[in-house]
Amino acid sequence: MTAKIQGAQAPASAPAGALPATAAPAATAARVQWLRDELERHNYQYYVLDAPTIPDAEYDALFGELQALETEHPDLLTDESPTQRVGGAPLSAFDTVRHRVPMLSLNNGFDDEDVIGFDRRCAQGLGRTAAAAPAEDLFSAAEVADSAVEYACELKFDGLAMSLRYEDGKLVQAATRGDGETGEDVTVNVRTIKAIPLKLRGKAPAVLEVRGEVFMYRAEFDKLNERQAEAGEKTFVNPRNAAAGSLRQLDPRITARRPLSFFAYGIGELQGAERPPTHSVMLDGFATLGLPVCGERQVVKGAQGLLSFYREIGARRDQLPYDIDGVVYKVNAVPEQEQLGFVSRAPRFALAHKFPAQEMTTVVEDIEVQVGRTGAITPVARLAPVFVGGVTVTNATLHNEDEIRRKDVHVGDTVIVRRAGDVIPEVVAVVLERRPEGARAFVMPTACPVCGSHIERLEGEAIARCTGGLICAAQRKQALLHFAQRRAMDIEGLGDKVVEQLVDQGIVHTPADLYKLGVAKLAALDRMADKSATNLLAAIEASRETTMNRFIFALGIRHVGEATAKDLAKHFGKLDNLMAADEAALLEVNDVGPVVAQSIAGFLAEPHNVEVIEQLRAAGVHWPETEPMARAPLPLAGKTFVLTGTLPTMSREDAKERLEAAGAKVAGSVSKKTDYVVAGAEAGSKLERAQALGVPVLDEDGMLALLAEVAQMEQQGGAEPENAQ
Ligand code: IVH
C-alpha cells in the first residue's frame, strides 16, 4: 500500500460526469463516507494491526473512486479524507508551536548499576524497598519481592519525537520537539504519513496530544537511498537522518514520497477523558484509537525484569526492522509516575537504557591499501581508535576506489563509522563541515606496496589488482591462509602469525612447502613452543588425507567457492579430468558460467599452478577419486554421416558442425557402415554409392528435420529418434 496514494484512477464504476457539481445527493455522501471508513480501516489493518486484508490494487480502486467523487462534489471534501495526504503547496517556513505540556527528555543509563540504581530510587520514592539482590544474582531463581515496582518496558526508537494533537478525534496539529517548550509546526508534512491517522477510531477525547516517534523502517530507507542514487540525488546517512530530512521539507509533496512511519508512546495534553491507569493500558488504548504502537513491549517487575528485557532486545537488536538506540523503562502505574514526578527536564519514573552506539565519528588518519589472496587491492581507512558497536575500531574497509570517490573520503576527514552486530565496521559518510585544510585525497598506488608489481584495474571492474601473483608475499600469505582454513585443508594452528613468519622468512613459498616442514623449523618461530609446533605438524600431516572438493576449494581459484568446488569434483571425478578440461568442458559443469570457466581454465594454464598441484600430490595429499559424472550420450553418437554436393542454404562446414555437435561422426566416403548421406545439388559418386548400398539419403531439409527431432528427444529425456537406425 506504499506510494500508491497518488495517481490512482477512478474505476469505471465511479459515476464520472453523471452528476452536476452541486450539493451531493445523500446517497453519494453516504458512499463517500463509506469509502473513507473503508480506506481508514485498511490503513488501520496495515499500520496498526500489521495485518493487511486487501491487495494493493483493491485499495487503489477504492481510493480512485473516492478521489473521483470528491472531484465531482467538492462540497464533500474534508481535511480528514485519506485523499488529502498527498501534500499541499510548499511552505516558506515552519510556524513555531508552544507545547502546552512540555516535551521532556529521558535520563540515560548505560550499565546494570545504573538500572539497579534507577529501580532503587523508584522503590524508595514509592515507599517500598527495592529487591536487594546483588548484580551477579540478578538471574538466579531469586524471587521477585511483592514490593518490587512494576515497569512498562519498550524500545527507544531512533527517530524524531513528535507531538500529534487530536481535537474531537481529528488531527489538527503536529509539532516537533524543538527545545521541549517550543517546536515547529510540521502538520502539513505529518498528514502525509499514512501510519498516522487523520481521524481517530471510535470515541476520542476532546483533546488528545499523542507523543511518539517518527522513524523509517530500514528496508524502506535502503529503497529510498537506491531511488535517490538512481535519480542522482543525495543519499542519506541513516534512517534517522532520512526521517529528519523528510520532515523538515518545506514542500510536503516531497515528504509524501518518503516512507515515514510512527509509533506512539505517550500522552501530552488530555481533555475530556481520564488518564489511563497504567502506561500499558494507555498503549493498548492507542492501538484501539488507530494509532500504531510497537509490539516489542513488556510489563516486568524489579531490576531483574528490566535487565532481562534489555538483554533479550539487545540480542535481537540487529534483526529488528528499524534502528533503536536502547530500551526505555517507565513505572507502569500512572499514579506512581505522578508520585515520583520530575527532576529538572526529565521524569524520575523513566530511564532510557542505552545500547552501545552503532555509529560514532572519528578521524581518518591514513588510507592504506591491503593486498588480498587474488591480488585484490582494498583501500583501508586507518582510524583514530573509536568505541563503536561494543568494540574499539581502528580500521574500516573502504572497499574500492569508486567507493572512496563516492563517499569523498580524504585523509584527515572526520567520518561517521558504523558497526552493527557482527558486520565489519564501515565508513558511512564524511562530516564535510569538519574537513581540515590540507585534507588529502586518496590516490590509488600504481605499484603493489608489498611486491612492487604493477597494479592494474581492468575495464569494467571495480577492483584494482596486484599483478604479482604468487611472487607477491601478500598474495602468498592470503593463499596459504585460504589453503589452511577449516573449510579447505583444515590445518588447525596455521594462523596469521605463523603464516606471516613462514613467508617473510622465506621458509614457505607455496602450499606444497608446508608438507616439507619439520618440528625444528616451526619451533624456531616466534611464539611457537615445541608443543604447538608438534600439533601443527600433526595437523599438516592429517590434512594429506582430504576430499577432492576441499582440495579444489583450497587452491584458491578466483570465483571457485565451496559450492563450485563440489560441483567440479562431482562432475570430473578425478583431478586429472579437471586439469585436462578446456573452457567448453568446464561450461558443462552444473552452475559454471563463462566467467568461472575462464577463471579455472586461466588458473590451470599457469605452469606454476600446475606445478604446485603436482608437488602437493607428490607430497602425499590425496583423496578418493570417482568416475566422472555419467553424461547422457549425445543423440547422434555412433552415427556416421557423409556430406556430398552443394546444400541449398548451408555450407558443408556448417552442416558438419551441426552434425558433430549432436554427436555424429562426419566421414569422407560412403561405406556399408555409413548411416546417412546428406546430398545437395550436383552430388556425384557418393550419392550413387549410397543408393547402391541402400544407405538412406537426406536432403538439407531432411537433415535439419532429423536434427530438430533428436534435439527434442534429448530435451524430453533421450530416447533415440525413430528413423535413426
Ligand atoms: S518517552 C517524558 N519513550 O527519546 C518522556 N521517548 O530522551 C518522554 N524516544 O525525545 C519521552 N523512544 O525522541 C520515550 N519509547 C520511548 C522513546 C522515546 C524514543 C526518544 C524521544 C525523546 C527522547 C528522550
Nearest residue (by CA) to ligand 1, atom 18, is 156
Q: Does ligand 1 lie within 6 Å of residue 60's CB atom? A: no
Please report where in the chains the cell 517546536 appears, as a residue. 183
For residue 132, pLDDT beyond 80? no
* Residue 5's pLDDT band (cuts 50, 70, 90): very low
> Residue 264: is its pLDDT beyond 50?
yes
**Could you read off the pLDDT of 614-657 as tens digits, one per residue?**
999 999 999 998 888 876 667 887 899 999 999 999 988 889 98
What's the pLDDT score for residue 661?
Answer: 78
Distance CA 701, CA 678 (A): 10
Average pLDDT score over residue span 36-55:
86
Residue 631's pLDDT is 67
Beta carbon of 157 within 6 Å of any ligand 1 atom: yes
pLDDT per position as a tens digit, 313-367:
999 999 999 999 999 999 999 999 999 999 888 999 999 999 988 899 999 999 9
- Residue closest by Cα to atom 14 of ligand 1: 265
Q: pLDDT tens digit string along 469-500?
A: 878 999 999 999 999 999 999 999 999 999 99
C-alpha 354 – ligand 1 centre gap (Å): 12
Most confident of 32-41, 263-272, 650-659, 680-689: 263-272
| Catalytic (active-site) positions | 156
Residue 352 Cβ inside 6 Å of ligand 1? The answer reads yes
Whether 50 has a pLDDT exceeding 90, the answer reads no
Q: Is 152 in the pocket of ligand 1 (CB under 6 A)?
A: no
Q: Calculate what percentage of the chain has a pLDDT beyond 70.
A: 93
Q: What was the pLDDT predicted at 717? A: 54
Selected residue with higher pLDDT from 518 and 721: 518
State the distance from the centre of ligand 1 to the C-alpha of 369, rounded, in angstroms.
43
Q: Which atom of ligand 1 is nearest to the CA of 352?
A: 7
Sign of CA dihedral 81, 85, 86, 88: positive
Contacts 24+ apart (CB under 8 A), 334-341: 334/275, 334/276, 334/277, 334/278, 334/279, 334/282, 335/277, 336/126, 336/149, 337/279, 339/125, 339/126, 340/122, 340/125, 340/126
Question: 160 C-alpha to center of ligand 1: Å?
Answer: 9
Q: Is the CB of 104 under 6 A from ligand 1?
A: yes
Distance 264 CA to ligand 1 centre (A): 10
Kindly provide the residue ranges of all beta strands, DSSP E only, lying in 407-485, ordered along the sequence.
Answer: 410-411, 414-418, 426-430, 440-441, 455-456, 464-466
Retrieve residue 602's grid coordinates.
586461466
Expressed in angstroms and rounded, the spacing between residue 109 Cα and the centre of ligand 1 is 13
Distance 88 CA to ligand 1 centre (A): 30
Atom of ligand 1 nearest to the CA of 155: 15
Helix (H, G, I), strand (E, B) or coil at 464: strand
Tell me the best of 158, 265, 309, 351 to mutate to test the pocket of ligand 1, counting ligand atoms within 8 Å of each CB and taking the most: 265
Q: Rounded to an integer, what distance in angstroms lies between the CA atom of residue 568 and that of residue 549?
A: 7
| CB of 156 closer than 6 angstroms to any ligand 1 atom | yes
Cβ(99) to ligand 1 under 6 A?
no
Distance 680 CA to ligand 1 centre (A): 87
Q: Is 350 in the pocket of ligand 1 (CB under 6 A)?
A: yes
Residue 1: the pLDDT is: 38
Q: 568 CA to middle of ligand 1, Å? A: 56
**End-to-end alpha carbon distance in the chain:** 63
Q: Average pLDDT, whole number, for the chain?
A: 89
266 pocket-lining for ligand 1 (C-beta < 6 Å):
yes
Q: What is the pLDDT of residue 610?
A: 92
Beta strands in 177-323, from DSSP E residues, in sequence order: 182-184, 207-215, 261-271, 298-301
Q: Give the pLDDT confidence score for residue 16 in this predicted structure.
A: 41
User: According to the model, what pLDDT value does residue 716 have?
Assistant: 67
Does residue 93 register a pLDDT over 70? yes
Ligand 1 atom at minimum distance from 108 CA: 7
**Which residues face 352 on adjacent strands?**
108, 328
The pLDDT, as a whole number, for residue 129 is 72
Query: What is the number of the ligand 1 atom nearest to the C-alpha of 160?
Result: 13
In which band, very low, low, confident or very high, does the pLDDT at 54 lie, cut at 50, 70 and 90? confident
Asked whether residue 725 carries a pLDDT value surpassing 60, the answer given is no
Return the minimum-mean-pLDDT range out of 121-135, 247-261, 508-522, 682-696.
Answer: 121-135
Please, which pLDDT band fits residue 723 given cuts at 50, 70 and 90? very low
Q: Residues 550, 563: contact at Cβ < 8 Å?
A: no
Q: Whose CA is nearest to atom 13 of ligand 1?
A: 161
Tell me, what's the pLDDT at 19? Answer: 44
Report the pLDDT value the prediction gives residue 144, as an integer from 0 to 100: 66
Task: Tell me what the mean pLDDT of segment 35-46 comes to.
Answer: 90
- Please tell me which residue, 118 or 709, carries the higher pLDDT value: 118
- State the Cα–Cα distance between residues 601 and 584, nearest whole angstrom: 10
What's the average model confidence in pLDDT over 214-235? 93
Helices (H), 469-624: 473-484, 496-504, 519-523, 530-543, 548-554, 562-572, 575-580, 583-587, 594-605, 607-618
Please work out whether the CB of residue 106 comes within 6 Å of at least one atom of ligand 1: yes
- Cβ of 328 less than 6 Å from ligand 1: yes
181 Cα–ligand 1 center, Å: 15
Residue whose CA is at the smallest distance from ligand 1 atom 16: 156
pLDDT at 10 over 70: no
- Give how far Cα 2 sits from Cα of 82, 220, 233, 660, Å: 13, 10, 21, 56
Contact 354 CB / ligand 1 (< 6 Å): no
Nearest CA residue ID for atom 3, ligand 1: 265
Query: 78 phi and psi, to 5 degrees?
Result: -130, 160
398/379 Cα distance (integer angstroms) = 5
Position 138 scores a pLDDT of: 52
- What is the per-residue pLDDT for 715? 66
Q: Which protein residue has the closest C-alpha to ligand 1 atom 24? A: 105
- Per-residue pLDDT at 17: 41
Q: What is the mean pLDDT of residues 162-176?
A: 97
- Percentage, residues of the chain above pLDDT 90: 70
> What 3-state DSSP class applies to 676?
strand
Assess whether the C-beta atom of 105 lies below 6 angstroms from ligand 1: yes
Atom 9 (ligand 1) nearest CA? 156
Phi and psi of 532, rounded to 5°? -70, -30
pLDDT of residue 506: 92
Taking alpha carbons only, the member of 204, 215, 171, 188 closest to residue 91 is 188
pLDDT band at 137 (very low <50, low <70, confident <90, very high): low
Q: How far is CA 629 from the centre of its chain?
A: 36
Tell me the C-alpha distance between 557 and 478, whole Å.
Answer: 12
> pLDDT at position 390, please?
83
pLDDT reported for residue 274: 95
Is 7 a residue whose pLDDT tops 50? no
d(CA 328, CA 457): 50
For residue 713, pLDDT over 80 is answered with no
Reply yes or no on whether the pLDDT at 142 is more than 60: no
- Is the Cα torsion angle 361, 366, 372, 375 positive or negative in sign? positive
Please give the number of the atom of ligand 1 that sits closest to the Cα of 177: 10
Q: In angstroms, rounded to a whole number, what is the distance separating the alpha carbons of residues 717 and 21?
A: 69
Residue 371: how many other CB atoms lie within 10 Å: 24
pLDDT digits (tens, 9 = 90+) for 62-84: 999 999 999 999 999 998 899 88
Q: What is the pLDDT of residue 718?
A: 44
Distance 212 CA to ligand 1 centre (A): 7
